[in-house]
Amino acid sequence: MGLNNLTLVELGKMIHKGEVRPHEILIDVFNRIQEVEGKVKSFITLTIEKAYEMAKDAENTIFTGKKNIATGIPIAIKDNICTKGILTTCASKILYNFYPPYESTVTEKLLKEKYVLVGKTNMDEFAMGSSTENSGFHITRNPWNLERVPGGSSGGSAAAVAADECIAALGSDTGGSIRQPASFCGVVGLKPTYGRVSRFGLVAFASSLDQIGPLTKCVADSALLMNVIAGYTHMDSTSVPIKSPDFTEKLGKEIKNFKIGIPKEYFIKGMDKEVEERVNEAIKHLESLGCIPIEISLPHTEYAVATYYIIATSEASSNLARYDGVKYGLRVEGKDLLDMYMKTRSKGFGAEVKRRIMLGTYCLSAGYYDAYYKKAQQVRTLIKNDFEKAFKEVDFIVTPTVPSTAFKIGEKIDDPLQMYLSDIFTISVNLGGLPAISIPCGFNKDGLPVGLQIIGKPFNEAEILQLAFAYEQSTPWHTKKPLL
């Protein structure tokens, strides 16, 4: 077994003790990539040379005794997070040649700790999708079953972690884009509270919903990565100026008498039977650890998908206006300005992105704004209120992450509505700005992973991690690896 199979926690200890050197880990990582990347296709860009330079840099740092959490750890970054001088495409043809002249806050923080960048991972174009099939370049396959999608939009990051092509990864979550692929690929994915992690350098899809978070092999790794990436920055006005805790602080502490809310609206008709069974078993298990399950109601849940698709597409229609062929990225020449705009955007954007730009443009148009965007904002407030009310009774809310396991490639690509329903349990969390995690809670009979979602109160990531850790450490799921 190679070093690439280990976790951040394990490698951190080994590096600290001098048992392993960063370039050795990197060799194993690239060997694994060599072995499986042709099947999984997690990456858009591999930064091999750069990675070895960074590993060497990390070794020098370790030599001087200044080791940090991410020092020398091979990490994969979703391709919508800007890395200075390194191709950042958002899996879009319109940014096929975009090398950002600036570093995102999160990668800046990782750089300070001398992390090692493995590469930039595949995704649905501009993070719009739930299967990574909307990538402008290629599709990524689920390491547990190559006929199936890895989920999305952070499908590349989730698959890379599941396939041990990296030690950990960063993704972004607008409506479930970290948690849903984490669930499909059997890894841990945390979406932090809106404002907890800086969005500076994250190419915007829907500004009021986007949040960067970790995808890891175990809960403790997510806690460690949160210690690196969380925190206020003046560069992002929506980042919240409060001090971050040590996210590992509560790991291993008792979870007795934690009240866990089970929303009745989340156990819907048409939900995959096996998913329902695994989640119910997980709730039973939590109960056996001392938690108190309480049935709760989130009455506005049924409006979440509609609300989300109005707000997210409205913001996206504006956020994506900058890709016009004038300044960077793709330009298709035209006979005049308008012609250049139209040709560039027609060729540069894929079908799903175009669909969402049109939807959003429509929702914001004169005469429709009140009926759609404004109404959606009002419903968003109601959904937030549902959560606030529920959190007066319970400490956490526990749900399935996705109503199904990973679906087949091509199965839903022609049916956007079916695809959108894949995010039905994750979307409300973004609308409420809340933190939530997805952790593995078993497999179906076909050997596909099932995910358990734990939603917490705002800025309660450490508590979520505490509960998730207690569950994980008393179950075997996180130790299972896909056969590739």
Partner 1 sequence: MQYEAVIGLEVHAQLLTQSKIFCSCSTQFGSEPNTQVCPVCLGMPGVLPVLNKKAVEYTIKTGLAMNCKIASYSRFARKNYFYPDLPKGYQISQYELPLCEEGYLEITVNNERRKIRIKRIHLEEDAGKNIHDPSGYSFVDFNRTGVPLMEIVSEPDIKTPAEAASYMKKLRTILRYLGVCDGNLEQGSLRCDANISIRPVGSEEFGVKTEIKNINSFRFVEKALEYEIKRQIRILTDGGKITQETRLWDSQTGTTQSMRSKEEAHDYRYFPEPDLVPVVVSKDFIERIKKDMPELPDKKIEKFIKQYNLPNYDAEILTEEKSIAEWFEEAVKLGGKPKEVSNWIMVELLRLLNEENKDITQCPVKPSQLVELIRLIEKGTINRNTAKEVFEEMYRTGKTAESIVKEKGLTQISDDAILIEALKEVISKNPKEVERFKSGEEKLIGFFVGQVMKNTKGKANPKLVNELILKLLKDT
Which residues participate in catalysis according to the annotation?
78, 153, 177
**Is residue 199 a contact residue for partner 1 (CB under 8 A)?**
yes
Among 364, 385, 411, 475, which residue sits at the site for partner 1 (rule: CB under 8 A)? 364
Among 347-355, 362-370, 382-390, 473-481, which window interacts with partner 1 (CB under 8 A)? 362-370
Distance in angstroms (rounded) separating the CA atoms of residues 101 and 16: 33
- When the beta carbons of 151 and 201 are compared against partner 1, the nearer one is 201
Nearest to 173 by CA among 145, 149, 197, 154: 154
**Is residue 411 a contact residue for partner 1 (CB under 8 A)?**
no
Among 18, 38, 101, 270, which residue sits at the site for partner 1 (rule: CB under 8 A)? 101
Nearest to 320 by CA among 291, 284, 287, 358: 358
Contacts of 117 (CB under 8 A, 6+ apart): 47, 50, 51, 54, 74, 75, 76, 77, 83, 86, 107, 110
Contact 53, 22 (CB under 8 A): no
Contact 244, 230 (CB under 8 A): yes
**Is residue 381 a contact residue for partner 1 (CB under 8 A)?**
no
Distance in angstroms (rounded) separating the CA atoms of residues 135 and 292: 42
Among 31-39, 147-155, 358-366, 392-400, which window interacts with partner 1 (CB under 8 A)? 358-366
- When the beta carbons of 95 and 224 are compared against partner 1, the nearer one is 95
Residues belonging to the chain: 484
**Is residue 27 a contact residue for partner 1 (CB under 8 A)?**
no
Contact 219, 204 (CB under 8 A): no
| Ramachandran region, residue 77 (left: φ > 0; alpha: ψ -120 to 50; beta: rest) | beta
Among 101-109, 146-154, 405-413, 451-459, which window interacts with partner 1 (CB under 8 A)? 101-109
Among 201, 348, 435, 456, which residue sits at the site for partner 1 (rule: CB under 8 A)? 201
**Is residue 200 a contact residue for partner 1 (CB under 8 A)?**
yes
| Ramachandran region, residue 164 (left: φ > 0; alpha: ψ -120 to 50; beta: rest) | left
**Is residue 394 a contact residue for partner 1 (CB under 8 A)?**
no
Among 153-161, 199-207, 258-266, 476-484, which window interacts with partner 1 (CB under 8 A)? 199-207
Coil, helix or strand at residue 39: helix
Binding mask 64-93 for partner 1 (x = CB under 8 A): ----------------xxx-----x-x---
- When the beta carbons of 63 and 369 are compared against partner 1, the nearer one is 369
Give the shortest CB-81-to-partner 1 separation in angstroms.
Answer: 8
Contact 372, 363 (CB under 8 A): yes
Residues lying near partner 1 in the complex (CB under 8 A) are found at 80-82, 88, 90, 95, 98, 100-102, 104, 199-204, 206-208, 234-238, 314-315, 317-318, 320-322, 324, 326-328, 337, 341, 361, 364-366, 369, 373
